[in-house]
A = this chain, B = another copy of it.
Amino acid sequence: MSEVGTPVVVASPGGADGADAAALDGPVRFDLRFEPADRKVRVPPHVMLFDAASWNGIAIDSTCGGHGTCRKCKVQVLEGTAPITTLDTRAFSTDELHAGWRLACRVEVVTDLRIDVPPLMTRPKAATVGVGRKVILRPAVQKRYVELSEPSLSDQMTDLERLLASLDDLELRAELAVLRRLGRVLRESDYKVTAVVVDDVLIDVEAGDTTERLFGVAFDLGTTTVVATLLDLSTGTPVGVASMLNKQQPFGADVITRISAIMMRPDSLGELTRLAHEALDELVSDVCAAGGVQRDEIYEVAVAGNATMTHIVLGLDPEPLGVAPFIMATKLWPEVLANDVGVRVHPRARAVVFPSLGAYVGGDILAGLLASGMDRDPRMRLFIDIGTNCEIVLGNSERLMATAAPAGPAFEGAAIRCGMRAAPGAIEVVRLTPESLELGVIGDEEPQGLCGSGLVDVVAELVSLKLIDPSGRFVTDKEASSLAPGLAARLTNLGKERIFVVHWRGVEGDVTDAIYLSQRDVRELQFAKAAIATGWSILLEDAGVKVDEVQQVLLAGSFGSYLSPASAVRLGLVPKLPTLRILSAGNVAGEGAKMALLSLRERAGAMALMEEVEYVELSDRSDFNDRFVDQLAFPD
């Protein structure tokens, strides 16, 4: 079983050199030094010590997951201040309290701390997800098998009290629908049942011991593609992956055309919502079949999508997102059921819907940041999700800044004369020498057109050969003949426009049937590239970070995964850095969604990002146009 979006390169935290920290004047952070591992992490104020450890892969004993009920997360604070809470007084003797013993889940970090973490009594399960993130398993969904004593005249506890008394490390509320089943299930199973809990809600009781059947589905709800991963939440293992094109395509390729469709015909909203639901639900069928899982064994789903996709899948009119002043209905979503996003799994399954930082920095980006661990990593990194809209995040564990740049549809293959999606037949790689041309075609088929990565490649190669000058203009035939004799015949005219033929589909020399790059295509790419480069250059300047201080560039999104780092540097799409520092991060949105299912703490970390990321609005910057024009040219 292969996993969608397995990261190409693993980024391991550590190795902070302090230079970046000094360059950024974000909010205050505190140093936590964990002994005996001698691991140092920096965290914002008021984080709970238990969470900080968990986020950084440092396992502290716990069965309640940090609710203050199991009293197992005992640590010794060796240096720094950690006030004693009521729970501490119940868990420790006075001597122990004086010696600095505390429950980690109750310690709010308000100073630097040095902490000794006792060896684990129980080994926590962990999974590697996202960009090399080690996640300690603590799903919101949990199952508990209990054998209860039967009621009698001398023990008239109610059914619910009886069950909850056996789960007294949890503070649960039960739903009415569970109460309707409870009496029958208890009596039919001789009071041997499995409680199904999501967060603090008892969502079901099942007869007998079903603890090993515990699943969730993570969705990456893209404008173009929708991906579902079925996860075994008891092991962290993916047991089924499926994807399909977003069924909303007939309403337009990008979010703006889909919003326009709703503005034209308001009842399109219902149709678009229905299509989103249908897509998610069909993928559930696929992954269930692949994993041998019943639908009602899925107790939670997670959805990461941009703001428009998220509004639509929840049945909200996205129109205010599409027109100035670009207003979202809400940032954080209320409690949502899987049923609310059209997914027929367990009837009371929850849906975790990633919130959006802004109308154009959506839940997919938040999920991507979670997966890339940018907020936990001391290295200065640049995250770029390239698409019709390009989202850019710069920063490290000290400070994070985000912006959105309108790149236009060039990378999706739209607005490009011979452009096409990254589908079989698409030219995705182009290598040129003055004498030769070599193509990489998806599916090794007869070429049908240029997809985004092929477009970037061919322009980058032509710029390298100087067949396109830094201003973006094709050179004359004469110059071409001298610079690249073997390619000169491909630089020709179609009507009044200069073109470069990438592939003669029919007779060589017959441009009518050729796959080519036109002068206008180059201009489209220049505009897209300029928008993106303006975005990251403004972020770098605002953060006071120099280009060579950027230690890693993460290219996110399906397009980013296929882009040649060398070509991206050549065109100035990314800062001029050694290509080894430029990584395809894969489907980080989907990875973030998986992390949210696997760990309550990671989920909380994603929510914390809502506060931590500073949004930089480009549209009202007076220097935007100047910078944009500067960035239109290709680097010399």
Interface residues, chain A, with chain B CB atoms under 8 Å away:
151-161, 173-176, 179-180, 182-184, 187, 314-317, 319-320, 324-331, 333-336, 340, 358-359, 619-620
Question: Are the CB atoms of B314 and A176 closer together than 8 Å?
Answer: yes
**Which B residue's beta carbon lies closest to that of A174?**
B334
Return A165 CB to nearest CB of chain B, in Å: 12
Please, could you name 7 A-B residue pairs with CB atoms under 8 Å apart, sorted by A? A153-B326, A156-B325, A156-B358, A160-B329, A161-B330, A176-B336, A180-B317
Tell whether A329 pairs with B154 under 8 Å between CB atoms, given A176-B334, A176-B336, A314-B179. Answer: no
Interchain CA distance A317-B336 in the complex, whole Å: 28
What B residues does A315 contact at CB under 8 A?
Answer: 176, 180
Question: Are the CB atoms of A316 and B156 closer together than 8 Å?
Answer: no
Return A273 CB to nearest CB of chain B, in Å: 10
Tell whether A334 pairs with B153 under 8 Å between CB atoms, given A159-B329, A182-B329, A319-B183. Answer: no
Interchain CA distance A316-B160 in the complex, whole Å: 13
Return A345 CB to nearest CB of chain B, in Å: 17
Question: Are the CB atoms of A179 and B325 closer together than 8 Å?
Answer: no
Interchain CA distance A184-B318 in the complex, whole Å: 11
Return A450 CB to nearest CB of chain B, in Å: 36
Interchain CA distance A334-B317 in the complex, whole Å: 32
Return A151 CB to nearest CB of chain B, in Å: 5
What B residues does A320 contact at CB under 8 A?
Answer: 159, 183, 187
Interchain CA distance A153-B621 in the complex, whole Å: 12
**Which B residue's beta carbon lies closest to that of A155?**
B325
Question: Are the CB atoms of B316 and A179 closer together than 8 Å?
Answer: yes
Interchain CA distance A153-B359 in the complex, whole Å: 12
Interchain CA distance A325-B187 in the complex, whole Å: 13
**Which B residue's beta carbon lies closest to that of A356?**
B158
Question: Are the CB atoms of B153 and A327 closer together than 8 Å?
Answer: no
**Which B residue's beta carbon lies closest to that of A182?**
B329
A180-B314, A180-B315 provided; 8 other pairs, C-beta below 8 A? A151-B327, A153-B324, A153-B325, A156-B327, A159-B320, A176-B336, A176-B340, A180-B316
**Which B residue's beta carbon lies closest to that of A615?**
B156
**Which B residue's beta carbon lies closest to that of A326?**
B156
What B residues does A176 contact at CB under 8 A?
Answer: 314-315, 333-336, 340
Q: Which of B179, B180, B316, B334 contacts A175 (CB 8 A)?
A: B334
What B residues does A619 contact at CB under 8 A?
Answer: 153
What B residues does A336 contact at CB under 8 A?
Answer: 176
Question: Are the CB atoms of A330 and B620 closer together than 8 Å?
Answer: no
Return A181 CB to nearest CB of chain B, in Å: 9
Question: Are the CB atoms of A158 and B325 closer together than 8 Å?
Answer: no
What B residues does A326 contact at CB under 8 A?
Answer: 153, 156
Interchain CA distance A173-B173 in the complex, whole Å: 18
Question: Are the CB atoms of A331 and B173 closer together than 8 Å?
Answer: no
**Which B residue's beta carbon lies closest to that of A164?**
B330
Return A310 CB to nearest CB of chain B, in Å: 11
What B residues does A340 contact at CB under 8 A?
Answer: 176
What B residues does A316 contact at CB under 8 A?
Answer: 179-180, 183
Question: Are the CB atoms of A183 and B333 closer together than 8 Å?
Answer: no
What B residues does A174 contact at CB under 8 A?
Answer: 330, 334
Q: Which of B151, B325, B329, B334 contacts A173 (CB 8 A)?
A: B334
Q: Which of B154, B325, B334, B358 contacts A152 (CB 8 A)?
A: B325
What B residues does A155 contact at CB under 8 A?
Answer: 325
Return A38 CB to nearest CB of chain B, in Å: 37
What B residues does A333 contact at CB under 8 A?
Answer: 176, 179
Interchain CA distance A183-B333 in the complex, whole Å: 15
Question: Are the CB atoms of B153 and A183 closer together than 8 Å?
Answer: no
What B residues does A358 contact at CB under 8 A?
Answer: 156
Question: Are the CB atoms of B180 and A325 closer together than 8 Å?
Answer: no
**Which B residue's beta carbon lies closest to that of A173?**
B334
Interchain CA distance A155-B324 in the complex, whole Å: 11
Question: Are the CB atoms of A158 and B334 closer together than 8 Å?
Answer: no
